[in-house]
Amino acid sequence: MPASPPTGELAIPTLHRAARIEDAVHQLVERRLRRTGWQMKIVAYAGYGAPGWARVMCRVLLGRPEVRAKGKPEKVRGWRSFATLPAKHVRVTIEAGGVVHEACADRSGFVDTVVEADLTPGWSSVRLTVADAEPVEALVRIVDPSVRFGIVSDIDDTVMVTALPRPMLAAWNTFVLDEHARNAVPGMAVLYERLATAHPGAPVFYLSTGAWNVAPTLTRFLSRHLYPAGPLLLTDWGPTADRWFRSGREHKRATLARLAREFPDVRWLLIGDDGQHDQEIYREFAAAHPESIAGVAIRRLSPTQAVLAGSLPAPAGSSSSGPVGQKWLSAPDGAGLWKLLRDAGLV
């Protein structure tokens, strides 16, 4: 039998080899970057919660001091989102509803914690502070206890044309393309705005396998194309503590299950596309949590888009298969989905 740790001590898990290599590289690079003037900063992400609690998310990074030409709009290339270095294990002070909390960033500089907070339903904010960095405000969407309807939406090829998983074009879109050149999926912003109007107070969550590095870019994209504001639920970038690469599908499964636990009275409209694994993940969630499903809306890719995305073209029709008794709808764009949702009584 393996030896047990001494009483009062916790066993420290062994990091995956890739994570240990990454940490060693970060330590070496950090010393050099600090000498060249790189500074610690907080990148705040929109969180969410309910009366009495809030999930606060942010990342602490070492970054190059930002310099913007006066009078010229900033153009953000994708690669710049990844030109950062995490500030590991630093203490972050969170002030929420007049109460002060402390949290510790993980090895990737992330803080993802739930704090007690007496905040009013709607959009509120919490204050984040770390030593040697400017304090920032993080938005928090507090869901009213009376709300019974919510939206969870995929991003890639559902609200934004990304052409995933085509490796070359995906890399171009992520690391090279100017964010202002990214295209919105036709009709989806109007669909979401109509849903938000039909269900006052309904939260909108944008669930994606994308990296947190691109969260500011995605937030600006959604705002510019008039999508309803809502928290992004993304994943870490690079090796994890126990594997070479993160599992995007597991991230989506775990996040949906968490939302079902946190908001047991909310029934969710799940929106995705048929180019990757959304239908499979949504079907599993609907089978496990039938009481949490209002319906599933799938944006159907064209035959050419489906083939290029690595999937088979879907047959023509307005519905796709799901658990018995649940509303599964499919259309090629936002206008088609709106008509089907209206006919199904979901708006």
Domains of the chain (ranges; CATH) run 17-26+39-142 (2.60.40), 149-343 (3.40.50.1000)
What lies within 8 Å, CB to CB, of 312 at 6+ separation is 306
CA separation for the pair 94, 126 (Å, rounded)? 7
Are the beta carbons of 122 and 145 closer than 8 angstroms? Answer: no
- Residue 116, beta-bridge partner list: 53
- The pLDDT tens digits along the chain (347 residues) read 444 434 443 344 565 555 555 455 555 555 555 556 677 889 999 999 999 999 999 999 887 666 444 444 445 555 455 556 888 889 999 999 999 999 999 988 999 999 999 999 999 999 999 987 889 999 999 999 999 999 999 998 899 887 655 555 555 555 556 667 678 999 999 999 999 999 999 999 999 988 888 888 899 999 999 999 999 999 886 555 544 456 678 999 999 999 999 999 999 999 999 887 899 999 999 999 999 999 999 999 865 555 555 555 454 444 455 565 578 999 999 999 999 999 999 88
Query: Quick one: angle between helices 278-288 and 248-262, nearest 10?
Result: 30
Q: What is the pLDDT of residue 316?
A: 45
- The residue among 276, 242, 219 whose CA lies nearest residue 46 is 219
CA separation for the pair 261, 86 (Å, rounded)? 30
Tokens 């270095």, residue?
85
Q: What are phi and psi of 148, to 5 degrees?
A: -125, 5
What lies within 8 Å, CB to CB, of 232 at 6+ separation is 45, 46, 206, 208, 215, 218, 219
Are the beta carbons of 271 and 328 closer than 8 angstroms? Answer: no
**Beta-strand pair 136-142/39-50:** parallel
CA separation for the pair 51, 29 (Å, rounded)? 42
The model's pTM: 0.82
Which pair of structure tokens corresponds to residue 23? Answer: 């940490």
Q: What are phi and psi of 89, to 5 degrees?
A: 55, 30
Cα dihedral sign for 202, 205, 206, 212? positive
CA 50, chain centre distance (Å): 19
